[in-house]
Amino acid sequence: MTDCTDIKNGHLTVGGADCVDLAKEYGTPLYVMDENTIRAACREFKASMDECYGEGKGMVCYATKAFCCKEMCRIMADEGMGIDAVSGGEIYTALAAGFPAERIVFTSNNKKDEEIAYAIDRGVGRITCDNIEELYRISAIANGKGKTVRVVLRLKPGVEAHTFEAVMTGKIDSKFGFAIETGEALRAAKEVAGLPGIDLAGVHCHIGSQIHEIAPFEKAAEVMFGFIAALRDEGIMIRDLSLGGGFGIRYTDADKPLPYGEYMKHVSARAKECCEKLGLDMPFMMIEPGRSIAAPAGVTLYTVGSRKTIPGIHTYIGVDGGMCDNPRYALYRSEYTAVIANKADQPKDEIITLAGRTCESGDLIGEGMPLQHAEAGDIAAVLATGAYNYSMASHYNRVPNAAVVMVKDGKARLAVRRETFEDVARNDV
């Protein structure tokens, strides 16, 4: 179980709402998000930031790539969060929800010119950049508009977190950022510091995702402060530092996530040590949690359609969703916990493969999953699916995207409407 789930009258509940009732009312597949769990995570991160660095001396930026819709952005605004957006579409969604532009950081690795112009025109607070060509384009666009943009350089600190290789982003062999150890980052900072239209305000790193250890974050902080000191010696003063996100969550019982405050306590202590040793003032600190805010708050509901047993090999439980609404198993072999929502109080007496509906042999949500005996018509629930599920959904096989409901204190409201066939074909010519 997760923080937002429970069992009542034999049924799985999310945020106090019965999953079987939700499936009947809104249909399946269905993403269910618990608002209280989202808000609690935001408040825990913000409280630890204020405690460790001082109130007003840092900003927690929710990484909208994890899960982005207007309702989520409204919640972030209400909680006083920043937003880390990685596309013009995410910026548009946040602004359309009334989110303050100055609290948005635009971070991506290959922005289009029109996205850069859009961000500048809308007054986005910071733009994070990871290649020299983009820095010159930002300079030209900003200068042409008579504006100055607060720019943050994305760096590769050379720290490898113990996580899945596809989500390790801080090592030298990564498409993201300027490498510190090769001298690339220092050359870029010196080259861009005097460009018109650019205020080189900060540096940023993100070492990976689903990290359950503190040491990689501490090491990354050491490297980043060392680089800030090197820039100071070149006459370049850095005022902002973002140490990214990547804090791990519990997908299965094998995951042992730490309280988020533990990361902050240890990393802030190391940051203060570095500042004292190097003679630096503490910069304005930022972190960018995404999965750790959204994932534990989410559950995806499916209707079981078929049961297929291959003796001595597999039992396939077919559901009405799959890689269209959750491609993470196909991409990363990500593990999940599943429950039959209408039999949640019964023992998990089978080991099954949860199979999707698309015409693709790799369309699986999980293999070797313990589950209650499942039959056609049952409601299957996959836990901790609030991040990188809706965000990565596709129209493969022309399957419409699922709806999203937000639950609070047992009451549900629609956050994203279910798509229709007409929606899928809407832009066809």
* pLDDT score, position 164: 43
Instruction: For residues 239 and 326, state if they share a domain.
Output: no
How many angstroms separate the Cα of 294 from the Cα of each of 53, 163, 406? 24, 19, 12
Q: Domain of 364? A: 5-34+296-424
Confidence of residue 108 (pLDDT cuts 50, 70, 90): confident
Whole-number Å distance between alpha carbons of 93 and 1: 31
Total length of the chain:
429
C-alpha span between 127 and 103 (Å, rounded): 11
State the distance between the two ends of the chain, measured CA to CA, in whole angstroms: 46
Contact call for residues 214 and 263 (beta carbons, < 8 A) = yes
pLDDT at 334: 94
Q: How far apart are CA 359 and CA 190, in angstroms?
A: 52
Q: Summarize the confidence of residues 290-308 as an average pLDDT.
A: 98
Are residues 222 and 86 part of one domain? yes
Task: Give me the DSSP letters along 342-391.
Answer: GGTTS---EEEEEE-SSS-TT-EEEEEEEE----TT-EEEEES-SSSSST
Shared domain for 48 and 92, answered yes or no, is yes
CATH number at residue 262: 3.20.20.10
Task: Give the CATH number for residue 408.
Answer: 2.40.37.10
Give mean pLDDT, residues 291-315: 96
Indicate the residue among 254, 275, 294 that finishes a domain: 294
The active-site residue out of 69, 274, 324, 359 is 359
pLDDT score recorded for residue 305: 98
278 pLDDT more than 90: yes
Q: What pLDDT is recorded for position 168?
A: 44
Average pLDDT over residues 235-248: 96
Residue 429 is assigned to a structural domain of this protein:
no
C-beta of residue 38 within 8 angstroms of C-beta of residue 332? no
Q: 326: helix, coil or strand?
A: coil
User: Tokens 């699916």 correspond to what residue?
Assistant: 385
Contact 390, 416 (CB under 8 A): yes
Q: Is 205 a catalytic residue?
A: no
**Packed helices 35-53 and 70-78: angle between N→C axes, nearest 10 degrees:** 40
pLDDT tens digits, residue range 133-171? Answer: 999 999 999 999 999 999 999 999 988 765 544 444 445
Mean pLDDT of 299-305: 98
Band of pLDDT at residue 172, cut at 50, 70 and 90: low
Cis peptide leading into 257, omega within 30 of 0?
no
Whole-number pLDDT of residue 171:
53
Q: Are residues 87 and 228 in the same domain?
A: yes
Structural domains in the chain (count): 2
Tally of CB atoms within 10 A around 183: 10
Task: Give the residue-averaged pLDDT of 178-205.
Answer: 94
* pLDDT tens digits, one per residue of 6-45: 999 999 999 999 999 999 999 999 999 999 999 999 999 9
DSSP string, 279-320: T-PPPEEEE---HHHHGGGEEEEEEEEEEEEETTTEEEEEES
H or E stretch covering 58: strand 58-63
Q: If you average pLDDT over residues 70-99, what whole number do you get?
A: 98
Residue 64 lies inside a defined structural domain of this protein = yes
Going 50 to 204 to 150 to 126, the CA torsion angle's sign is negative
Q: Which of 294, 326, 345 is the last residue of a domain?
A: 294
Q: Which residues pair with 152 in a beta bridge?
A: 128, 202
Tell me the CB-side half-sphere exposure of residue 155, using CA atoms within 13 A: 30
**Same domain flag for 221 and 156:** yes
**For residue 51, is pLDDT > 60?**
yes
pLDDT, tens only, 335-378: 999 999 999 999 999 999 999 999 999 999 999 999 999 999 99
pLDDT at 159: 84
Query: What band does 60 get if pLDDT is binned at 50, 70 and 90?
Result: very high
Domain end: 269, 294, 319, which one? 294
The confidence score (pLDDT) of residue 208 equals 87
Residue type, 346: Q
